Amino acid sequence: MPTTRARRDGFGMSDLLAVALIVFFAVLPFPDETFRAEGMLLIPALAPALIMPFRGRWPITALVVSLACVVAVAASGSISPSALLAVAIACFAVVDRLGRRIGLLSLGISVAVAFLADAWALGGDLLDATALQFILIIILGGALGDTARSRREFIAAMTERAERAERSRDDEARRRVAEDRVRIARDLHDVVAHQIAVISLNAGVASTSLETRPERAQEALATVRNASRTVLADIGGLMTLLRAEPDDDQGELRPQSGLGDLETLLSGFRAAGLRIDLRDPHRGFALSPAGDHVAYLVLHEALTNAHKHGRGGTATVALRAEGAAVHLTIVNPAADDASSPLRAGHGLRGLQERLTAVGGAMHVGSDGGVFSLEAWIPTETAPTS
């Protein structure tokens, strides 16, 4: 702060004003000779002016010197207004710089010493109006010092609160950015993973069947073409959502897929060469829209993993009601290599996050060469048959 820097590095305007007031009251010709400083009394009357510029650095020293000058003048039977004013200025500095506890203690001692010194100089007259005015000035100096300190602490607290609020806003912004990045990565995985797997596998089928089974190669290439169109359309829709302004109310570009699209999902995987055994004793599960979409994504991710990482091109899907939840189980022979979904994990991690968001749970494991994925999604009401 400019005031503090001025006190540390040199004299400020407040220092010059304090020195000027002390000198003025020391040489002022008061009508009452008791308050005049003449001859040798000018020395203790003017001495506090020398220490006043250093009161910010040494407030207790400035107060002690001022009180000593008050007592020295009182010992000669006079009262020094300049020394008493210096006491008031020093009390301001003590309370302002050293806190309320030390400041109030110093103020009380200063008032008592000044009061007794004035009574000594006046021959025991404790109720002299002029002398009491200087005592009140000392008290006022301490009160103003406490006010200045409280105001400075209030400003510092408000500044710290504002900085903390700014840091909190920055942390919240970073958290939201991180959440958006995770959401975008998850959505991109949902949109792209299966179709890219279909494209890769059918491209391999086409390359190996081109000479021996041309019709099979043509079917695989047609599947590649359809999957490419689908993934391009899905990516285009995702990009449109990402580029939209935050306040744009565009809604969903298309309805969210759910268990009602199960047959279409299974048909796509079967067309890609995955044999699926569906065990679905119950239909019409009363899932929330979010839960229905998550159930679809669980099946999508599990069948994609079975297609990409499984052995034998087979998978078993079971859906059943368990109390107030739908239990989905997907089982397929596991490939014991580094491409296992348990090691890759990004899609499964995204599923775990989506299931947690709707109050569900998931368990994955591999035992005896069989990979299994189980998910529990809560229903809104009891399932209907």
Band of the pLDDT at 375, cuts 50, 70, 90? very high
DSSP state string for 117-156: HHHHHTTS-TT-HHHHHHHHHHHHHHHHHHHHHHHHHHHH
Check pLDDT > 80 for residue 340.
no
- CA-based angle 125:87:119, to the nearest 5? 10
Q: Measuring CA to CA, how many Å separate 373 from each of 285, 320, 359, 376?
A: 19, 14, 17, 10
Residue range 105-120, pLDDT digits in tens: 988 888 888 888 877 8
Check pLDDT > 50 for residue 58.
yes
Check pLDDT > 70 for residue 5.
no
Residue with more model confidence, 139 or 41:
139
Supply 313's token pair.
């091109």
Band of the pLDDT at 343, cuts 50, 70, 90? low
- Number of residues in the chain: 385
Check pLDDT > 60 for residue 205.
yes
Check pLDDT > 60 for residue 162.
yes
Q: Give 325's contacts (C-beta < 8 A, 6+ positions apart).
A: 360, 376, 377, 378, 379
Supply 158's token pair.
């408000």
Q: Looking at the DSSP assignment, which residues form a beta bridge with residue 279?
A: 318
Give the residue-averaged pLDDT of 262-275.
82
* Global pTM value: 0.47
Residue range 80-102, pLDDT digits in tens: 888 888 888 989 989 888 888 88
Band of the pLDDT at 246, cuts 50, 70, 90? low
| Tokens 């990402």, residue located | 242
Q: Looking at the DSSP assignment, which residues form a beta bridge with residue 315?
A: 276
Evaluate whether 329 touches 317 at the Cβ level (below 8 Å).
Answer: yes
Q: Could you count the other beta carbons within 10 Å of the beta carbon of residue 130?
A: 14
Check pLDDT > 80 for residue 193.
no
Give the residue-averaged pLDDT of 22-50.
76
Q: In what order do the strands lie in the sheet with 314-322?
A: 275-279, 314-322, 325-333, 370-378, 361-367
The kind and range of the H/E element at 88 are helix 81-98
Residue with more model confidence, 3 or 290:
290
Evaluate whether 302 touches 373 at the Cβ level (below 8 Å).
Answer: yes
Supply 9's token pair.
């590095």
Q: Measuring CA to CA, how many Å separate 377 from each of 45, 169, 320, 336, 344?
A: 89, 35, 11, 29, 24
Give the residue-averaged pLDDT of 271-296.
79
- The pLDDT, as a whole number, for residue 256 is 65
Residue type (1 letter), 362: M
- The pLDDT, as a whole number, for residue 4 is 44
